[in-house]
């Protein structure tokens, strides 16, 4: 067994087969043709895509990513534009704080890294708004370095295949990263392919509901399948509240008003977007607190311009 797979938490390592080879073979045949997987795709594009893909469907990200990179092909290009432009270009991808974080990261990359996205995970983590997952994903998928990369799809696949658990449960980096590390081949290219393959399997085959086990390349090695698909009796990952009627929806409605206007929006106009005054005021206050809106009742409200 590969020495790089020497430790696997909560698993008898000797009894668990190597899942990397069949996953790599499957991925090289079945992987979706996505912009960030094409040869020559820039590290800046990988960083942008990873931030856009957070809690957002691939189909919604691809056209927005292509438009973004056409307009801002390098970090310096984005940094030279006001933050309001980034928020407007983000449009309806959701969680627009990501646009501000990306603008802030671009500014640091342009000013402190010679307009080149850093390769080192620690340097990536030092960028504004970049968390552990994004830093590792950029290092692996843009630069080919060997690190475990874990998202919810990866956790689901690993918990099912290796631990026999039907659901991924809450994220725990101290457990999740070593578990992914344990299945990575020593070869850097194979390790990057394994990271991508596990993600793809979780996105397309080993889905949360009704997994397509007949199409799974590691079905014969899956502990959950071998155990007869037992119900999950452990802790569960927290579920996101419904969007309809939520503060998130009201924030989005207020943001839409601000994006649509090149001049400050009066309080009276904002009051028209939602009937519940308390919820509307709470949404506006949160946008001001997050830096996604600036202004007051006297001057009106607008997107940040500096």
The H or E element spanning position 296 is: strand 294-296
Handedness of CA 142, 144, 146, 149 (dihedral sign): positive
Q: Among 50, 167, 181, 200, which one carries the catalytic annotation?
A: 50
Q: At what angle do helices 43-52 and 97-112 cross, to 10 degrees?
A: 160
Residues whose CB is less than 8 angstroms from the CB of residue 84 and which lie 6 or more positions away in sequence, other chains included: 302, 303, 304, 305
Cα separation, 44 vs 73, in Å, equals: 8
DSSP secondary-structure letter at 292?
S
CB 188 within 8 A of CB 146: yes
Distance CA 221, CA 19 (A): 7
Is 278 catalytic? The answer is no
Q: Which residues are catalytic?
A: 50
């Amino acid at each position: 067994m590969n020495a790089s797979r020497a430790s696997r938490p909560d698993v008898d390592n000797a009894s668990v087969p190597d899942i990397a080879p069949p996953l790599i073979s499957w991925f090289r045949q079945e992987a979706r043709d996505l912009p960030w997987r094409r040869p020559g795709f820039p590290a800046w594009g990988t960083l942008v895509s990873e931030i856009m893909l957070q809690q957002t469907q691939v189909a919604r990200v691809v056209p927005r990513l292509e438009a973004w990179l056409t307009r801002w092909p390098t970090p310096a290009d984005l940094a030279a534009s006001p933050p309001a432009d980034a928020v407007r270009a983000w449009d309806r991808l959701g969680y627009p704080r990501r646009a501000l974080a990306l603008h802030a990261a671009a500014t640091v990359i342009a000013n402190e890294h010679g307009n080149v996205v850093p390769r080192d995970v620690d340097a990536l983590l030092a960028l504004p708004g970049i968390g552990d997952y994004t830093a590792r994903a950029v290092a692996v998928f843009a630069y080919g370095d060997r690190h475990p990369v874990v998202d919810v799809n990866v956790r689901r696949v690993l918990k099912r295949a290796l631990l026999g658990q039907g659901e991924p449960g809450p994220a725990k980096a101290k457990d999740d990263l070593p578990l992914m590390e344990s299945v990575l081949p020593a070869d850097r290219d194979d390790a990057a392919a394994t990271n991508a393959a596990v993600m793809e399997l979780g996105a397309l085959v080993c889905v949360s509901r009704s997994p397509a086990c007949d199409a799974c390349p590691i079905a014969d090695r899956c502990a959950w399948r071998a155990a007869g698909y037992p119900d999950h009796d452990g802790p569960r990952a927290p579920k996101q509240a419904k969007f309809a009627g939520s503060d998130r929806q009201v924030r989005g409605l207020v943001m839409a008003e601000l994006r649509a206007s090149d001049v400050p929006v009066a309080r009276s106009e904002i009051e028209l977007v939602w009937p519940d005054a308390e919820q509307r005021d709470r949404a506006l206050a949160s946008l001001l607190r997050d830096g996604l809106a600036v202004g007051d009742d006297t001057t009106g409200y607008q997107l940040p311009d500096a």
